[in-house]
């Protein structure tokens, strides 16, 4: 997780409370009314016992009952409004939160996104937001409800009998003391529990995605026992937190019951000595029962308060990650790209300690086809990443049509550049949706055209659903080669000025690769194509070939020139030539 925290972007729940101020105040008001109305019920008992029964006053009894019914209706009404409002506000806040996190992710540089795992982001958007929602619509409300009830009931208790009330609450300090001792342990246990829980969650997620690997490596038993270990760990923690939770519950119950016994003992004597009526004692007893309910609730609320506070902290860890500098002061809008590309003394590294690209300088002219070769891990993909400005060079500059890449409006710029990576990402959806991804108003004939260029039209046409066939999550219902060609079609549909193929045809057989390449070159006529490839047949025709080794550009020139030089390139070439199968040799 990135430690570059920046409070500028932090989410503060207070801001949401301000946004939904009216609704929140209204719902608190309703809650207050519900509370006050609830106080009427014990008092009705007092009236019945003290005034109705001794005097056989049927009229008063009917009045009391009518009153209670009216109160019941009102209470239901206010209760409904309160619940409705608090649910609505809670849901809205959750939607806002989710959107804010989701939007934030798009503002991060790829570098920072890589540091946050998909699981982390997912659990922020789902679990953590859910925690906050639960807190807002249930516990935050309960908390206010409990506080309001406590104050109101305490007031009534004192009003009825000061002596009894002092006696009833005498146990409270003990309770608070014990509670505050146990609570930190409980919070800690809960925190650990959540950590282990999320580890288990990521493990399951990974195991499902990596199932073919686990099965082929015969690692099932190993994985199962690892999982069991994690579960046992979780169980131990759960036991601890349950033990604490139960003790807390028992303590609250013990002290509140102790209060009730004391009150019964002293209260009965008060009635006998005539200082209190029988009805008052009964009402008092009911109020006292009502008093301890919110006390118990408060303990539960504290738990979920801690939990949602931790969730908010975790969300804010993501929110605080520095956003990618969107641009410098003068943003240049490029309406079209000629394709004059220059790298000037470019250095780059992912982590400061390990240089990846060193002093790279080259020029590409408009309309040129460029091949990039080099051993794997040499830095070819990194070079492409810099060109797309997914990462920034540590030193040196990249110029596009003589403008510094840093000064271009990045979104506009990317409109003119299309890239196909080795294992490009396809989304769950139809083939057509995937090819037209990110574009609006695409005609199906355009989709067919690019699919034909990418040599995938016949395959799609042969499917039962044709272009409407669903390809499953990540396109997993297709072969690698089919996915690659769909990704190529997707890139072509954007009619880019610069097309980059980074080992984009590596899963195709040599014949198909050759067909794709010819058609793509024809389609891109006059535009730049940059091809990173292992098979020499794919780059031999390029106008220029760059040879990258250990992060350096060690040779450049046409295939003929490079072969004539008899250096690293020709070494690589003849090495492969030796191994290539007959078909490829025929093509060469």
- Which residues of this protein are in contact with ligand ADP, per CB under 6 A? 114, 350-351, 356, 374, 376-382
- Write 226-229 long-range contacts (CB < 8 A, 24+): 227/200, 227/203
> Of these partners, ligand ADP, Mg ion, none, which one is at the site of residue 350 (CB under 5 to 8 Å by kind)?
ligand ADP
Please identify the residue of the shown chain whose CB is closest to the bound Mg ion: 381
Cα–Cα dist 91/130, whole Å: 10
Question: What are the b/e assignments for 55-69, b being 16+ CB within 10 Å?
Answer: eeeeeebeebeeeee
> Of these partners, ligand ADP, Mg ion, none, which one is at the site of residue 90 (CB under 5 to 8 Å by kind)?
none
Q: Which stretch binds Mg ion (CB under 5 A): 258-266, 276-284, 381-389, 560-568?
A: 381-389
Query: Binding of Mg ion at residue 507 (CB under 5 A)?
Result: no
DSSP one-letter string for 118-180: HHHHHHIIIIIHHHHHHIIIIIIHHHHHHHHHHHHHHHHHHHH-HHHHHHHHTTHHHHHHHHH
Q: Which is nearer to ligand ADP, 127 or 359 (CB)?
A: 359
Compute the least distance from the CB of residue 349 to ligand ADP, in Å: 8
Cα–Cα dist 574/577, whole Å: 5
The number of CA neighbours under 13 Å toward the Cβ of 12 is 7
Q: Which is nearer to ligand ADP, 371 or 379 (CB)?
A: 379
Q: Which is nearer to ligand ADP, 461 or 575 (CB)?
A: 575
Compute the least distance from the CB of residue 113 to ligand ADP, in Å: 10
Compute the least distance from the CB of residue 110 to ligand ADP, in Å: 8
* Selected binder of Mg ion within 199, 365, 381, 507 (CB under 5 A): 381
Compute the least distance from the CB of residue 586 to ligand ADP, in Å: 28
Compute the least distance from the CB of residue 372 to ligand ADP, in Å: 8
Q: Which is nearer to ligand ADP, 118 or 377 (CB)?
A: 377
Crossing angle for the helix pair 510-523 and 444-453, to the nearest 10 degrees: 130
Closest by CA to 439, choosing from 381, 376, 491, 503, is: 491
Q: Which is nearer to ligand ADP, 46 or 358 (CB)?
A: 358
Q: Which is nearer to ligand ADP, 127 or 381 (CB)?
A: 381
Task: State whether residue 353 is helix, strand or coil.
Answer: coil
Compute the least distance from the CB of residue 380 to ligand ADP, in Å: 3
Compute the least distance from the CB of residue 413 to ligand ADP, in Å: 21
> Of these partners, Mg ion, ligand ADP, none, which one is at the site of residue 496 (CB under 5 to 8 Å by kind)?
none
Q: Which is nearer to ligand ADP, 197 or 381 (CB)?
A: 381
Bin 466: left if φ > 0, else alpha if -120 < ψ < 50, else beta: left
Cα–Cα dist 217/56, whole Å: 87
583 Cα distance to chain centroid: 48
Structure tokens at 479: 């072969």
Q: Which residues contact Mg ion by CB under 5 A?
A: 381
């Amino acid at each position: 997780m990135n430690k570059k925290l920046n409070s500028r972007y932090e989410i503060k729940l207070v801001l949401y409370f301000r946004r939904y101020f009216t609704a929140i105040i209204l719902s608190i008001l309703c809650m207050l009314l519900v509370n006050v109305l609830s106080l009427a019920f014990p008092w009705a008992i007092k009236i019945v016992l003290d005034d109705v029964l001794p005097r056989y006053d049927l009229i008063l009894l009917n009045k009391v009952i009518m009153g209670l019914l009216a109160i019941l209706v009102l209470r239901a009404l206010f209760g409904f409004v309160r619940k409705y409002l608090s649910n609505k506000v809670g849901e809205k806040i959750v939607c806002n939160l989710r959107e804010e996190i989701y939007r934030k992710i798009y503002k991060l540089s790829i570098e920072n996104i890589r540091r946050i795992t998909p699981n982390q982001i997912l659990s922020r958007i789902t679990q953590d937001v859910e925690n906050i929602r639960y807190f807002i619509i249930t516990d935050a409300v309960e908390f206010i409800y409990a506080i309001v009830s406590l104050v109101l009931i305490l007031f009534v208790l004192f009003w009825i009998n000061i002596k009894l009330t002092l006696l009833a609450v005498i146990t409270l300090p003990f309770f608070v003391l014990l509670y505050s001792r146990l609570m930190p342990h409980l919070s800690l246990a809960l925190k650990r529990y959540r950590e282990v829980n999320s580890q288990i969650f990521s493990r399951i997620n990974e195991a499902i995605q990596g199932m073919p690997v686990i099965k082929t490596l015969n690692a099932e038993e190993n994985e199962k026992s690892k999982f069991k270990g994690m579960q046992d760990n979780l169980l131990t923690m759960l036991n601890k937190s349950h033990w604490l939770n139960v003790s807390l519950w028992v303590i609250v119950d013990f002290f509140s019951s102790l209060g009730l016994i004391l009150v019964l003992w002293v209260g009965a004597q008060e009635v006998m000595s005539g200082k209190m009526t029988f009805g008052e004692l009964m009402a008092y007893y009911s109020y006292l029962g009502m008093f301890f309910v919110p006390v118990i609730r408060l303990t539960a609320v504290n738990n979920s308060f801690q939990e949602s506070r931790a969730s908010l902290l975790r969300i804010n860890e993501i929110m605080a990650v520095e956003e990618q500098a969107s641009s410098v002061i003068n943003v240049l809008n490029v309406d079209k790209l000629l394709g004059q590309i220059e790298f000037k003394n470019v250095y780059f590294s992912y982590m400061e300690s390990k240089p990846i690209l060193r002093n790279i300088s080259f020029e590409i002219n408009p309309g040129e086809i460029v091949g990039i070769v080099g051993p794997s891990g040499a830095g070819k993909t990194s070079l492409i990443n810099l060109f797309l400005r997914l990462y920034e060079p540590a030193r040196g500059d990249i110029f596009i049509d003589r403008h510094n890449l840093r000064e271009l409006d990045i979104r506009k710029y990317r409109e003119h550049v299309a890239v196909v990576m080795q294992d490009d990402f396809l989304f769950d959806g139809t083939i057509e949706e995937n090819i037209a991804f990110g574009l609006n108003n695409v005609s199906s004939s355009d989709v067919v055209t690019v699919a034909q260029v990418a040599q995938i039209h016949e395959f799609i046409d042969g499917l039962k659903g044709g272009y409407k066939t669903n390809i499953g999550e990540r396109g997993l219902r297709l072969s690698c080669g089919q996915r690659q060609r769909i990704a190529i079609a997707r890139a072509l549909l954007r009619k880019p000025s610069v097309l980059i193929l980074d080992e984009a045809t590596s899963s195709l057989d040599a014949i198909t690769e050759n067909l794709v390449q010819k058609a793509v070159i024809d389609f891109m006529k006059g535009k730049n194509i940059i091809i990173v490839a292992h098979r020499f047949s794919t780059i031999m025709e390029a106008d220029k070939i760059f040879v990258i080794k250990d992060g350096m550009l060690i040779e450049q020139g046409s295939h003929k020139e490079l072969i004539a030089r008899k250096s690293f390139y020709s070494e690589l070439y003849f090495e492969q030539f030796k191994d290539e199968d007959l078909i490829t040799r025929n093509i060469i």
